[in-house]
Amino acid sequence: MVVAGLGLLFAGGEGLVRGAVSIAERLGLSTLLVSTVIVGFGTSIPELMVSLQAALDGSPDIALGNVVGSNTANILLILGLAALLMPVICKGAAVRRDAAAGVLAAVILCALSFTGRLEWPAGLLMAGGLGFYLWRICRAEREATSNTAVAEAELREHIMEDRAAHKPLVVSVACAAGGLVLLIFGARLLVKGAVSLALAAGVSEAVIGLTLVAVGTSLPEMAAAVVSALRRHADVVIGNILGSNLFNVMGILGVTALVAPISFAGRIADIDVWIMLAVQVSLLAVIFLRGRIGRTTGCVFLALYAGYSGWLFTAG
């Protein structure tokens, strides 16, 4: 069930993202907006499906651990791996803005952990805050687009027309819808399989959610990051990770709390949310102080994630 769920999640996430990007191009959205919002948020759909299903099934540790573990894995594992393939340049006001927003979201989650339970009012505020942030960056994008050169606009229009000729809008919509269906079924299989593994192996649901489920639902982010690194698109790599981490906390937990309350208890509330915050702050510091994530930093990130995962199963 876990293997089948992971396969469906990966295929569904890929279909959803491809369809969403194609729709965005047909509607004339900028490449920057696609890379930071649609790709970053779109690759987080598996986490949303899993957390919702886990909350409805009465497995709050998997619902919360999935988000916390995914955010930690996105930075230490996926960004570390991408940096090994290509140093990730992360300069510019937009990158610093999104990195700071990710730290703020982590601080909010840590503060909410003291309440012991994430109820619908907090979820509504989190989802609303995410919506406001999206409005702000879309507005900033429109202002930036109005100042671009005419040649760049004509080139983008030519590229969109060329791609549109090969992929009609109805095909793009069908691709996105089919991906969403696969994500829903994949989420159900993964949650049920993960809970069974936890019970059979004597490992807590918290550890399973922080590791297996978290990494499994981050496969779309990993695929997007690796492909972008190989094609030397550093802006897509960092935009994907920052957008995904922000959506994981504010969007996924916010929407999940509107459907079913999420309890904060055990090691996730006491330890792992704070580790996630420390990782987010570390990334922010690297972005502000160095403006790039080189291969050495990537190796450090990967080593930290390996140590963290090993410690989880040892202490599990």
Residue percentage of the chain with pLDDT more than 90: 34
Long-range contacts of 105-112 (CB under 8 A, 24+ apart): 105/245, 105/246, 105/249, 105/250, 106/71, 106/249, 106/273, 106/276, 106/277, 106/280, 106/281, 107/277, 108/249, 108/250, 109/68, 109/249, 109/253, 109/273, 109/276, 109/277, 110/273, 110/274, 110/277, 112/264
Confidence check: pLDDT of 70 > 70: yes
- Please state the domain count of the chain: 1
pLDDT band at 92 (very low <50, low <70, confident <90, very high): confident
What is residue 102's predicted lDDT score, i.e. its pLDDT?
94
Let me know: does 246 contact 36? Beta carbons within 8 Å. Answer: no
Residue pLDDT, tens place only, 119-165: 999 999 999 999 999 888 878 777 766 655 444 444 455 444 444 44
What is the domain range of residue 249? 2-315
Which CATH number fits the domain that encloses residue 282?
Answer: 1.20.1420.30
Bridge partners of 89, per DSSP, are: 292
pTM of the model: 0.80
What is residue 150's predicted lDDT score, i.e. its pLDDT?
43
Residue pLDDT, tens place only, 238-285: 888 998 999 999 999 999 999 888 888 788 889 999 999 999 999 999
Mean pLDDT of 164-178: 73
